[in-house]
């Protein structure tokens, strides 16, 4: 039984204003387009609201991600905690902060994630890569 702690930050710039970036996180249909590559997605975007993703891993293992939103400042900040389970076993618990900073006509997004990885079920590098892939799909969603 092992526990591994990790923190990473990713920054991306998008050539659209913060309200467009924020809307891509807040609107269930928009978020499903860039956040979900396969599976089902539910989003109740409000403080105390819940997000759930049910998908399958590359080997067919059932993956479930459930998050709760703790802080939402429109067009500026989103904070949520999440838990990822694979095959019915808890793999990761995380706290994620999204900051949106207007820069001219665009937005700088700063994502910071603090993770607790349990029993080697997931690796920090995998999580950082997957999150980076999501932010690249967000860029496509925003037309950038």
- What angle, 0 to 180 degrees and rounded to 10, lies between the N-to-C axes of helices 18-26 and 124-141? 110
Least confident range of 44-53, 110-119, 120-129: 120-129
If pLDDT is split at 50, 70 and 90, which confidence band does 104 have?
A: very high
Q: How many residues does the chain have?
A: 144
If pLDDT is split at 50, 70 and 90, which confidence band does 60 have?
A: confident
- What angle, 0 to 180 degrees and rounded to 10, lies between the N-to-C axes of helices 124-141 and 28-35? 130
* % of residues, the chain, pLDDT over 90: 86
- Which CATH class for the 3-141 domain? alpha beta
Residue 16 · residue 142 · CB < 8 Å: yes
Picking from 140, 143, 144, 138, the residue whose alpha carbon sits closest to that of residue 22 is: 138
Of all helices (H) and strands (E), which one includes residue 138? helix 124-141
pLDDT at residue 144 tops 80: no
Q: What is the mean pLDDT of the chain?
A: 95
For residue 60, the SS3 value is coil
Average pLDDT over residues 9-24: 98
């Amino acid at each position: 039984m092992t526990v591994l702690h990790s923190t990473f930050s990713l920054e991306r710039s998008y050539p659209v204003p913060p309200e467009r970036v924020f809307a891509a996180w807040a609107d269930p249909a928009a978020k499903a387009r860039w956040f979900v590559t396969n599976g089902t997605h539910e989003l109740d975007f409000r403080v105390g609201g819940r997000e759930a993703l049910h998908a399958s891993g590359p080997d067919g293992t059932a993956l479930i991600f459930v998050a709760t939103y703790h802080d939402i400042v429109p067009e500026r900040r989103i904070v949520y905690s999440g838990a990822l389970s694979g095959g019915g076993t808890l793999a990761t618990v995380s706290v994620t902060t999204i900051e949106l900073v207007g820069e001219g006509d665009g937005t700088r997004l700063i994502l910071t994630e603090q993770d607790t990885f349990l029993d080697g079920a997931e690796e920090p590098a995998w999580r950082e890569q997957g999150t980076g892939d999501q932010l690249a799909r967000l860029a496509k969603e925003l037309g950038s």
